[in-house]
Structure 1
């Protein structure tokens, strides 16, 4: 971040963090790492998110929450997801230039949201979801891309075995097929089969191992529509409101420059906006598991927010990024004060 000053004006630019030098990029990653591990070393422990799936319960027994091992595994999974985030942006030119901002925004959010550090299953699900996006984004204007439709839905379905409500992302992606102009009976049926296959194999394997396995119990999603605001602290509510305002401003800035993007890129950006809204709806329906969806929300948030910050080099968006960083830092510090 650079401040250019002269007699006529003062301009704040993000060029130094948009395309940082290797030493600066390493320093930024180290800073995000410090933010991440501060929750552990500062004993700012979080409760394990409400994930009732059998696989996650077994995973929790192997990797005990609130331990250094759990923190390290989650952190390296986050680094992997940040790398995949950069690759998907570069391959499909979601932001039409190389930029470090999606990685920085994503890792800042993940470092601040210490509740996600315990949810190893959520990080694995995010990895699978990013890989599914590689398949879906390759379907653009191809109504015969049944292989990509099958594989993308297959990966999301595997992630839903870890976190059951993620299965609803498949219908969301069907709407995405329409946005990509790739929806056809062939791609729809391929996606449907991709979504069903992992669950059929999972339930069949469990039934073979344990004949008394309750198939219906495994399919219960346990939605919870009750939103009790009193269970959240004032800093949580203020932080949520401010982050919502920031992303709305970011999306407005995104659409003000989207006319310069290629049609395929605009379709992907529209899908990401729709995906973010859908994730928020799913969070409210399954409010008892909302922490499980935060890594995917952080991914989409990072891509959408970084688009105008990278392409609109003006004071407003530069200051907006500074405000974003300050809010996350203050929110992280507030957790120490309240604990």
Structure 2
């Protein structure tokens, strides 16, 4: 271990994940103490408001958010173990995920995107399972069911269905039968919603998700300082890690290379969506951090050069600077 670089000692160390969780909890407590006014954020979407009022007590707002992110972190380990994206049983992607979430105090409260991100990750699992399957219809059906379920609370998740179809096409699992299965799968949650709305006499509930989809806000540059700083940091990680995947892709299996290329494309789409709809930034950030964590984990776990070690140290120091800047700018707002 002494002969290894600092980057490799951290990424392969057994204490890396516990340390990342401890840092995350510390940042969560600090943001709760300094930003108590941001505990509850009201949103205008009725289905989400009804779900949160019924399932999440006001005192458990931040705790529920942390638990949702913890579930995503656990699923990231399972996703890597199932598909060997990083070519080893690694938890570095989860450690990176906890650190990235921690430096964004504005998302330490429950957002629609938090729950949507959990469902989104499960949908990714089924999409990856469809890779070159002789009968992929079942996998795409289940992936679309989860996308449809998540879109009940975060309607804009529906816009990622074409992205999933492109991914299925690259995985050689998009056929007329599987395409039809994905459409049926997406519609299943809405059939249940239609039945409930009809029985309860609240047809407005069924129409609301489609109205949210049609409510495309004007494209304008309306980012807050913490959003610009966070996006810049994440975009730098995205560019470097994506370039590494593309340049050294020959070292991975064809299957792994397909997964990584899809994640690169998916993250690019999320960045574009953030740019044209700044109002949805906190929700989309929860989705973006999933792919960024996997790509960055792949970069740091599988490189062993002087330049990658320097970049790792700079990015690690940048995390603490970013947390301080984000906290300071949010304090100015509140």
What is the TM-score with the length of structure 1 in the denominator? 0.88
For residues 85-104 of structure 1, the aligned pairs below 5 Å read: 85-104=76-95
Relative to structure 1, the CA distance from residue 76 to residue 242 in structure 2 (aligned partners, 3 Å threshold; closer, same or farther) is closer
**Cα gap change, 1:24 to 1:184, in 2 (>3 Å):** closer
- Structure 2 distance, partners of 1:324, 1:154, is 37
| 1:70 corresponding residue in structure 2 | 61
Q: Take 2:71 and 2:281, find their aligned partners in 1: how far apart are those partners?
A: 22
2:219 to 208, 220, 226: 226
Which residue in the other structure is 1:57 paired with? 49
Following superposition, the deviation at residue 52 of structure 1 comes to 3.4
1:283 deviation in Å? 2.5
Counterparts of 2:59 and 2:320, CA distance in 1? 22
Match of 2:284 in 1: 293
Pairing 1:124-135 to 2, within 5 Å after superposition: 124-135=115-126
Residue 237 to residue 60, structure 1, CA distance change in 2 (3 Å): same
Partners of 2:113 and 2:286 within 8 A in 1: yes
Out of 198-207 and 169-178, give the one that drifted further. 198-207
- Kindly indicate whether residue 132 of structure 2 is the aligned counterpart of residue 141 of structure 1: yes
Q: Does 1:156 align with 2:147?
A: yes
Contact 1:70 1:120 survives alignment (8 Å): no
Unpaired segments of 5 or more residues in structure 2?
Answer: none
The residue aligned with 2:178 is 187
Aligned equivalents of 1:36, 1:101: Cα separation in 2: 20
Per the normalisation by structure 2, the TM-score is 0.89
* CA gap 1:176/1:335 in 2 versus in 1, 3 angstroms: closer
1:20 to 3, 13, 19: 13
Give ranges in structure 1 of 5+ residues lacking alignment.
5-10
Give aligned pairs, total: 328
Please state how far the C-alpha of 1:317 moved relative to its aligned partner: 1.9
Contact (CA 8 Å) 1:176, 1:271: kept in 2 or not? yes
Cα–Cα, structure 1 residues 199 and 331, in superposed 2: closer, same or farther, change >3 Å?
same
- Displacement of 1:45 in angstroms is 5.0
Give, in angstroms, the shift of residue 155 of structure 1: 0.5
Match of 1:14, SS state, is helix
Greater Cα shift, 313-322 or 134-143: 313-322
Q: Structure 1 stretch 141-150 or stretch 295-304: which is displaced more? A: 141-150
In structure 2, the residue matched to 1:249 is 240
Find the residue that maps to 2:5 and give its secondary structure: strand
8 Å CA contact retained: 2:145, 2:188: yes
Kindly state the Cα deviation for residue 250 of structure 1 after the two structures are TM-superposed.
Answer: 1.5
Structure with a larger share of its residues in helix? 2
- Kept after mapping to 1: 8 A contact 2:267/2:291: yes
Alignment of 1:207-226 (within 5 A): 207-211=198-202, 213=204, 215-220=206-211, 221=213, 222-226=215-219
Asked if 1:174 is matched to 2:146, the reply is: no
Hey, what's the Cα distance between the residues in 2 that align with 1:337 and 1:44?
Answer: 14
Name the CA distance, whole Å, in 2 between partners of 1:212 and 1:96: 49
Farther off after superposition, 318-327 or 190-199: 318-327
Q: Specify whether residues 134 and 218 from structure 1 end up closer, same or farther in structure 2 by C-alpha distance, changes over 3 A only.
A: closer
Aligned partner of 1:325 in structure 2 is 316
Q: Indicate which of 108, 111, 116 corresponds to 2:102.
A: 111
Q: In the alignment, what sits opposite 1:7?
A: none
Look up the SS of the partner of 1:197 in the other structure: helix
Q: CA RMSD in A?
A: 2.4
Corresponding residue to 1:199 among 190, 199, 219: 190
Q: Distance in 2 between matches of 1:71 and 1:63?
A: 13
